[in-house]
Amino acid sequence: MGGAVSAGEDNDDLIDNLKEAYYIRSDLVERAFRAIDRADYYLDEYRDNAYKDLAWRHGNIHLSAPCIYSEVMEALDLHPGLSFLNLGSGTGYLSTMVGLILGPFGVNHGIELHADVIEYAYQKLDSFIKTSDSFDKFEFCEPSFVVGNCLEIPPESRQYDRVYCGAGVQKEHEDYMKNLLKVGGILVMPLEEKLTKITRTGPNSWETKKIISVSFAPLALPKHNTNGKPKSVPLPKYEVRTLQELARICIRHTLRVTTDGGDSQSRGRGSSFSVGRGLAVAGLHKYGPRFKRRRVHRRHCNALVLATRQVVASSGIGPAPLDSNNNQGGRAEDEEEAGEREARRQMRGSRRAGRGAGAVVVEEEETVEEEDEEEEQEQQQEEQQEEEEEKETGELLRPQPAVNVLRERILGLPLPEPLKMYLLYYREK
């Protein structure tokens, strides 16, 4: 299944294609997809195929097509603090993306049929936590996996807010899957060749929506023990966090919010301990968004002064309004640009004065539209020069990746080194 969008050159390019095809529709899902490189979950010899919109399988290891994962993430309607169960968790790629949205106080569980795939998933999870630049930009809900058949979950087990099944569900198992949900929960699964979203609206009421046509391998049926009784697969344990773990979460959250400018409001639903404002300021692309220079418009109030047979036009520029950072708007322009603009105004004033004595010039309100046009022309010339330099050197001029400010702040704390490393989750630089 897949092939709905063009292949990308890298992970960001693949996500751009998924957005353009409207598989990814929300900012929260987009940020999660950009934060985790799909190629990291491939074996090294198959990484060249990672950015194609195709499913991949090698032995027991399997990844669905990117367009399928996009539809699943959108249909789950995730937000911080929810509980999530992934049936057929595989490599852990989907569970890790979900964990970026659930935040530190969510629940992130998975069941996988094959023990070797569980081992592979934990290797990839450990690599993400220890080496990924994205880890410090999110408040993460680490997934836990158990080996077993998802059709052998005891009926008295806990229920979840969100459930996804990564294998084709037979019609006779539909009610079994529904009972894994809390009231108000959402179940997404392949049912009768359709990716289906089921919402539990009450103890015995459901809403069903077909999303897209899919083709999944069917669920493996459980095998009975020698005594004829079915096996029972216990779900991962839900353990209350220790005070030490809670302190680490709070310290990292406080440093992250301080780094981002003191605004603790995160996007989407949930408390301030959700996704962290680092998502907002980090931008959607790996190298961050391109910001346009703020243009400050001044009002030039010109008083007309009549002196004998000559008219003198004098300009009085009042203080500019304060911007959102409580800095005067005039400071947004550097001194050189301000000097050039003043020189141009003086030239225009001298031309007006030279029109002859007795000529009365009445000026209402002036803006800096001419200056803006000149700036845009200068920027276009600079871009053309950069393109020429790129052609000559054969190198792509890109801004340098941002420094991990959270890490720098933790290392700068007056704490013992072992405690700093604990706050850093023992991550490599």
- Please determine, for residue 348, whether its predicted confidence score (pLDDT) is greater than 70: no
Mean local confidence (pLDDT), 130-151: 93
Confidence of residue 133 (pLDDT cuts 50, 70, 90): confident
**Looking at the annotation, which residues are catalytic?**
64
Q: Which helix (H) or strand (E) holds 349?
A: helix 335-353
In the numeric block, which tokens belong to residue 305?
A: 């002064």
Distances (CA, A) of 345 to 161, 328, 332, 360, 376: 64, 21, 19, 18, 19
187 DSSP β-pair partners: 163, 198
Q: How confident is the model at residue 172 (pLDDT cuts 50, 70, 90)?
A: very high
Assess whether pLDDT exceeds 50 at residue 362: no
CA angle, corner 318, sides to 315 and 321, nearest 5? 140
137-157 average pLDDT score: 93
418 has pLDDT over 70? yes
DSSP element (H, E) containing 301: strand 300-307
Least confident interval from 96-105, 141-150, 182-191, 250-259: 250-259
Which of 32-36, 152-156, 324-328, 363-367 is modeled with the greatest confidence?
32-36
Residue 105: helix, strand or coil by DSSP? Answer: coil
Where in 103-235 does DSSP place strands (E)?
107-112, 144-147, 160-165, 181-191, 194-202, 205-213
* Cβ–Cβ under 8 Å, residues 195 and 188: yes
151 versus 239: the higher-pLDDT residue is 151
| Average pLDDT score, the chain | 78
> pLDDT band at residue 138, thresholds of 50, 70 and 90?
very high
CB contact at 8 A, 53 and 24: no
Query: Distance (Å, rounded) from C-alpha 18 to C-alpha 83?
Result: 27
pLDDT band at 2 (very low <50, low <70, confident <90, very high): low
pLDDT above 70 coverage of the chain, percent: 67
The dihedrals phi and psi of 44, each to the nearest 5 degrees, come to -55, -40
**Amino acid identity at 314:** S
Q: How far apart are CA 210 and CA 71, in angstroms?
A: 11
Residue 55, classed as helix, strand or coil, is: coil
Choose the weakest-confidence range: 160-169, 172-181, 252-261, 363-372.
363-372
3-class SS at 304? strand
* Statement: residue 227 has pLDDT above 80: no
CA–CA separation, 229 and 125 (whole Å): 35
For 241, list phi and psi in degrees, rounded to 5: -65, 145
The DSSP code for 96 is H
* pLDDT, position 382: 76
pLDDT of residue 372: 66
Over 70: is that where the pLDDT of 49 sits?
yes
pLDDT of residue 347: 65
Q: Per-domain residue ranges for the chain?
A: 67-239, 241-258+405-428
Q: Annotate 380-415 with b (16+ C-beta within 10 A) or e (fewer).
A: eeeeeeeeeeeeeeeeeeeeeeeebbbbebbeeeee
Tens of pLDDT, residues 272-299: 344 444 343 343 444 344 333 333 333 3
Can you say whether the dihedral through the CA atoms of 407, 412, 416, 417 is positive or negative? positive
Q: Distance between CA 61 and CA 177 in Å, rounded?
A: 24
**What is the reported pLDDT for 78?**
97
Give the list of residues 6+ apart from residue 126 with CB closer than 8 angstroms, or none.
none
Which residues contact residue 244 at a Cβ distance below 8 angstroms, ignoring those fewer than 6 apart? none
Pick 67-239's CATH classification: 2.60.120.260, 3.40.50.150, 1.10.3720.10, 3.40.50.720.
3.40.50.150
> Rounded to whole angstroms, how far apart are CA atoms 18 and 6?
9
**Confidence band for 110, pLDDT divided at 50, 70 and 90:** very high
Q: What is the pTM of this model?
A: 0.69
Angle, in degrees to the nearest 10, between helices 66-76 and 27-35: 130
Instruction: Report yes or no: 92 and 128 within 8 Å, Cβ to Cβ.
Output: no
